[in-house]
Chain A
Amino acid sequence: MSLKQTPLNAAHRAMGAKMVDFGGWDMPVNYGSQIDEHHSVRNDSGMFDVSHMRVVDIKGNGVRPFLRFLLANNVDKLSQPGKALYSCMLLDNGGVIDDLIVYFMNEEWFRIVVNAGTADKDIAWMKQQAAKYSPQLSIADHPELAMIAVQGPNARAKVWEALPGSRELTEGLAPFSAVEMGTMFIARTGYTGEDGFEVMIPAKAAPIFWATLAEKGVKPIGLGARDTLRLEAGMNLYGQDMDESVNPLESGLAWTVDLKSERDFIGKAALMSKPPARKLVGLVLIDRGVLRSHQQVHTPQGSGEITSGSFSPTLEKSIALARVPNEVQIGDTVQVAIRDKMLAAEVVKYPFARNGKGLI
């Protein structure tokens, strides 16, 4: 089967990207040094092709009540048009179908951005639920929209240079909010722990916008640095840190689940019935080596597993997210099985780094 391509595929190749099969998409993993790309985003600006992610618009009368039931976070937190919310979408048993960002545009239009690998499954689930509870709604995805994330302390200024008219529209845009600009959609969101924008743009216009950003000095960043940036920022990756086999309360996402209000939502009963026995913590490796996903973590309170691990270019140490027994405490030293050795790691509160600085 041939790999799917984003509208920027030729641009990546022209920039010397090393391309990999990423869940069926032909995507850039790095253009040169992945560590240099990482530092570009923490210290200046970088751009990511995230066109493989899918935009889904839900429109019609009664979108809000539908999403109130569909999503684990509460869309009633969204009152200002353009405001965004991070949420999980759960199965009845509390397992995570996907994590997503939902934008409130108006009472008849909410926009959702879902992960690439789960998009078809997500849309099928949304349609199945809508057929039951809100058959009047239209649910339409937009694979014709490209998406470019521009991130870093200088990212917004670079976008303003590259897109005439965008500064007036977005200088006052609050974090986690979005605004439409013609056929584009500009959101002050991201997956790096840095300021910046995620810009949805028609596929045909994407290569010119990408090239203009490059001219303004924005470095292209591959999936490799995208992963170390999000890990340092303590942001979960679907399929690694959580999936359908675990619930958000065991995945460091309790803050995104509203169990206090009267509101019912899919998965709530399952979450209420069983307090979580495990939790997600940060690890910093004390010994020399590199933490990786699926390595076993040994603690006096029982065993756990690393869900995401890598080398942190900001801290110059190996860091990880790990799912461990609830009784494990911040500051504990645990043992991680790496090949034939047991290496010591400290349990820490994450994020590890944001806004250009290490936090550990």
Chain B
Amino acid sequence: MSIPGDLKYTASHEWIKTETDGTITVGITQHAQELLGDMVFVESPKVGRKLKAKEECAVVESVKAAADIYAPVSGQVTGANSDMDSSPESINTDPYGSWIFKMKPDNPADVAALMDANAYQALVDSESH
């Protein structure tokens, strides 16, 4: 599956979409959901919580294992996807359509500095060899 070109990525396999109002939407990548397998539980961060970059802020659990989700940049949580409470399996079927939380970055330049699709593709390739 191709890695969407319009998103940013982290080394911990989150994808980041920048919205028109400057907030960002965060989910986990196709590669991450493939590694974890069938999702059964998502714990989102509380709206309003202040996060530092790379801070653990959410958890996804598959049948197999639990995995932490990290804040891609510093900022404040502005939304959590309540659909994930009832249908965490949508992360498996549509990882790039299944967002977990939204945040307002402290510094938009931090987002611009994240990996682009090419860099992330190279990372995934290096991990699978």
| Surface stretch bound by B, among A109-117, A134-142, A272-280, A288-296 | A288-296
Alpha-carbon separation in the docked complex, A64 to B111 (Å): 71
- Residue numbers of A with Cβ under 8 A of B are 18, 29-30, 33-35, 224, 228, 288-290, 292, 310-311, 313, 318, 339
Docked-complex contact B64 and A224, CB < 8 angstroms: yes
Return 6 A-B CB contacts under 8 Å, by A number: A34-B64, A224-B64, A290-B40, A290-B41, A290-B66, A313-B63
Does B106 touch A at the CB level, under 8 Å?
no
Known: A33-B92, A313-B63. A289 touches B38 (CB 8 A): no
Give the Cβ gap from B40 to chain A, nearest Cβ, in Å. Answer: 4
Docked-complex contact B61 and A34, CB < 8 angstroms: no
Known: A288-B41, A290-B41. A311 touches B63 (CB 8 A): yes
Alpha-carbon separation in the docked complex, A120 to B40 (Å): 37
Docked-complex contact B64 and A292, CB < 8 angstroms: no
Cβ-closest chain B residue relative to A225? B63
Q: Mark B19-41, 1 if CB is under 8 A from A, else 0.
A: 00000000000000000011011
Give the Cβ gap from B99 to chain A, nearest Cβ, in Å. Answer: 19
Alpha-carbon separation in the docked complex, A318 to B61 (Å): 11
Give the Cβ gap from A345 to chain B, nearest Cβ, in Å. Answer: 14
Give the Cβ gap from B42 to chain A, nearest Cβ, in Å. Answer: 9
Interface size on B, residues (CB 8 A): 12
Cβ-closest chain B residue relative to A33? B38
Docked-complex contact A289 and B41, CB < 8 angstroms: yes
Does B83 touch A at the CB level, under 8 Å?
no
Cβ-closest chain B residue relative to A341? B43
Alpha-carbon separation in the docked complex, A339 to B40 (Å): 17
Give the Cβ gap from B79 to chain A, nearest Cβ, in Å. Answer: 19
Give the Cβ gap from A96 to chain B, nearest Cβ, in Å. Answer: 26
Known: A33-B37, A289-B41. A310 touches B66 (CB 8 A): no
Docked-complex contact B66 and A292, CB < 8 angstroms: yes
Docked-complex contact B64 and A35, CB < 8 angstroms: no
- Residue numbers of B with Cβ under 8 A of A are 37-38, 40-41, 43, 59, 61, 63-64, 66, 85, 92
Give the Cβ gap from A342 to chain B, nearest Cβ, in Å. Answer: 14
Question: In terms of DSSP, what is the predominant structure of the interface of chain A?
Answer: mixed
Give the Cβ gap from A224 to chain B, nearest Cβ, in Å. Answer: 6
Give the Cβ gap from A327 to chain B, nearest Cβ, in Å. Answer: 30
| A residues near B43, Cβ cutoff 8 Å | 288-289
Alpha-carbon separation in the docked complex, A290 to B92 (Å): 18
Among B40, B59, B85, B92, contact of A311 (Cβ-Cβ < 8 Å)? B40
| A residues near B41, Cβ cutoff 8 Å | 288-290, 311, 318
Apart from the given pairs A224-B37, A313-B63, 10 other A-B contacts in the complex at a CB distance below 8 Å: A33-B37, A34-B37, A34-B63, A35-B63, A224-B63, A290-B61, A292-B66, A310-B63, A318-B40, A318-B41
| A residues near B63, Cβ cutoff 8 Å | 34-35, 224, 228, 310-311, 313
Lowest 3 CB-CB distances: which A-B pairs, in order?
Answer: A311-B40, A290-B61, A35-B38
Alpha-carbon separation in the docked complex, A290 to B64 (Å): 10
Alpha-carbon separation in the docked complex, A209 to B37 (Å): 28
Docked-complex contact A289 and B64, CB < 8 angstroms: no
Alpha-carbon separation in the docked complex, A29 to B65 (Å): 12
Docked-complex contact B64 and A288, CB < 8 angstroms: no
Cβ-closest chain A residue relative to B40? A311
| A residues near B64, Cβ cutoff 8 Å | 29, 34, 224
Cβ-closest chain B residue relative to A313? B63
Docked-complex contact A34 and B59, CB < 8 angstroms: no
Docked-complex contact A34 and B40, CB < 8 angstroms: no
Docked-complex contact A289 and B61, CB < 8 angstroms: yes
| A residues near B59, Cβ cutoff 8 Å | 339
